Amino acid sequence: MIIIENIHKQFGENKVLNNVSFDFEQGKTNLIIGESGSGKTTLLKILIGLHSLDEGNIIYDGRIFNQMKLKEKRQIRQEIGMLFQGGALFDYMTVEENIMFPLTMFTNQSTEEKLDRVNFCLKRVNLENKNKLLPSELSGGMLKRVAIARAISMNPKYLLCDEPNSGLDPKTAILIDNLIKEITEEYNITTIVNTHDMNSVMQIGENIAFIYNGTIWWKGNKEELINSNNRELNEFVFASELFKRLKKS
Amino acid sequence: MIKGIKNLGDYFIMMKKVISRPEKYSMFFRQLRLEINKIGLDSVGIVIIISFFIGAVITIQQYLNIEDPLIPKYLIGLVTRDALILEFSPTMIGLILAGKIGSNISSEIGTMRITEQIDALEIMGINSASFLVLPKIIAAIISFPILIILSVSIGIIGGLFGGQSVGVLTSDFVQGLQYEFIPFYVTYSIIKTIVFAYLITSISAYFGYHTKGGAINVGVSSTKAVVYSSILILIFNFILTDLILS
């Protein structure tokens, strides 16, 4: 479980996050939704320590992350799997080397053990026998799946995903969503997905935080979201005709 | 001025992160091998070509300048040797490598920055600065002196060929090469080369590591890396020459 308490973040004069508090529950896909520029990515980067925070606390299962020294933070980060928007695979390494990389860095496993783990992870994301391909030879959906395989290779306790569906066709997007949900339930991990894709919200949204003007404007699950009367939330979620019709029905 | 001081501060903060114990030595040596290949072996061709022709040109120019029959012809070999060891090989090749390797390092690390590959390393709990930059610095410190010794050797061979084309006797040229050779000049040349290797790799890595934005900014970082490395090579060339030789 990850708890954030009263987070404040300001870039110069621009207040990006203002008193943000939320509980990201274990075994659930926790979604952060909001318009572009609302502070979603900043919040995710603060969670993993890529941005410092001005005030507040980030608590990973009782451990206060923001009060830790860099060395301790690095220990926690080894428990985090992160799926970046563009995949962030190392482009000079093959698929196999990318997934094996954290295992080589942080375990003393033999090459055979590492290969077994790589093959298991690739099988889990339905990408068997793609070991020797380079990232440049993969499609967008395959890239994301390899990135998920790399993220889960170390059996993480926390999985953080930044816009996992950006640039993907609807069918592949659903595949990625389902994969994230399945992995979350299978390993009972705390998953946080940062998205503005409403299909994802409807597909996997179990614990949702809507960020508006730098604050948590609304929280709930997908059923509560559909029935909510919050004006700002409705303007964001039901912006398209399709979702307006869904709301009416 | 304030921006310059801030950049200098950021550079030293980054270098503090870079110069730390590698997290996994097997991975470090793997990276080091790759970097020696990229920085050292891949530069052999350009060093050979440039050194050969510059050696030849230095010899021809010396021949054309020494018209006085009282000045012995073996001085052509001596001047070529000392010009190559003292200045041409360490400084000129340093500047050329600043262009070739500096832009490569800066654009590679800059691209990794904007495609979030550096963030990915940090999230994994890896000291990204040390993982990416330290092998490059050590690879350059190992490779550059070898390249410079190669450059001097090829330059002398070029000088020999250049001299023959204008009528300098091989025996005169070789006598000049051997005449009053001061071994300390080679030490001085290697000291300069090691400093230049550090400057080129660390400055280029700094600009790459602090790239923000998109592809255009990668290009900007690359240009800055080459310009600043070149200027600092010239400044440190002056400082080191003053300190060591005078």
Phi/psi region, residue A59 (left: phi>0; alpha: psi -120 to 50; beta: rest), is: beta
C-alpha distance from B21 to closest chain A C-alpha (Å): 13
Tens digit of each residue's pLDDT (9 = 90 or more) over A188-223: 999 999 988 888 888 888 899 999 888 999 998 888
* Contact status of B120 with chain A (Cβ, < 8 Å): yes
Asked if A77 lies within 8 A of B116 by C-beta distance, the reply is no
Residue A50 included in any domain: no
Instruction: Give the rounded percent of residues in chain A with a pLDDT score beyond 90.
Output: 36
Confidence band for A242, pLDDT divided at 50, 70 and 90: low
Predicted pLDDT at A199: 83
Angle at CA A89, nearest 5°, toward A74 and B203? 70
* Contact status of A217 with chain B (Cβ, < 8 Å): no
Residue A220 included in any domain: no
Residue A247 included in any domain: no
Asked if A86 lies within 8 A of B116 by C-beta distance, the reply is yes
* Contact status of B13 with chain A (Cβ, < 8 Å): no
Tens digit of each residue's pLDDT (9 = 90 or more) over A100-111: 999 998 888 899
Asked if B116 lies within 8 A of A88 by C-beta distance, the reply is yes
* Contact status of A88 with chain B (Cβ, < 8 Å): yes
Could you give the CA distance from residue A118 to residue A153 in angstroms, rounded to a whole number? 7
Tens digit of each residue's pLDDT (9 = 90 or more) over B131-143: 999 999 999 999 9
Asked if A105 lies within 8 A of B119 by C-beta distance, the reply is no
* Contact status of B239 with chain A (Cβ, < 8 Å): no
Predicted pLDDT at A158: 93
- The range of the structural domain enclosing residue A120 comes to 90-154
Token pair 């926690």 in the structure block, residue:
A76
Contact pairs from chain A to chain B, CB under 8 Å: 52
Residue A68 included in any domain: no
Asked if B122 lies within 8 A of A50 by C-beta distance, the reply is yes
C-alpha distance from A87 to closest chain B C-alpha (Å): 8
Asked if B123 lies within 8 A of A104 by C-beta distance, the reply is no
C-alpha distance from B103 to closest chain A C-alpha (Å): 18
Q: Which residues between 18 and 47 in chain B have a beta carbon less than 8 angstroms from any beta carbon of chain A?
A: 23-24, 26-27
For residue A123, the tally of other CB atoms under 10 A from its CB is 12
pTM for the model: 0.86
C-alpha distance from B20 to closest chain A C-alpha (Å): 12
* Contact status of B126 with chain A (Cβ, < 8 Å): yes
C-alpha distance from A206 to closest chain B C-alpha (Å): 25
Predicted pLDDT at A21: 92
Residue A24 included in any domain: no
Structure tokens at B116: 């979030």
Cβ-contact B112, A61 below 8 angstroms? no
C-alpha distance from B134 to closest chain A C-alpha (Å): 16
Q: Which residues of chain B have pLDDT under 70?
A: none
Tens digit of each residue's pLDDT (9 = 90 or more) over A28-84: 999 999 888 888 888 998 998 888 899 999 999 999 999 998 888 888 888 999 888
Confidence band for A124, pLDDT divided at 50, 70 and 90: confident
Could you give the CA distance from residue A214 to residue A210 in angstroms, rounded to a whole number? 10
Tens digit of each residue's pLDDT (9 = 90 or more) over B76-102: 999 999 999 999 999 999 999 999 999
B123 vs A77, A89, A101: nearest CB:
A77
Asked if A80 lies within 8 A of B119 by C-beta distance, the reply is no
Predicted pLDDT at A179: 86
Domain boundaries, chain B: 24-244
Residue A16 included in any domain: no
Domain total in chain A: 1
Among B201, B24, B229, B105, CA closest to A102? B24
- Average pLDDT (A144-157) is 90
Asked if A78 lies within 8 A of B120 by C-beta distance, the reply is no
CB-based contacts of B88, cutoff 8 Å, min separation 6 = B51, B54, B58, B151, B155
Token pair 């021809």 in the structure block, residue:
B60
Structure tokens at A2: 């990850």
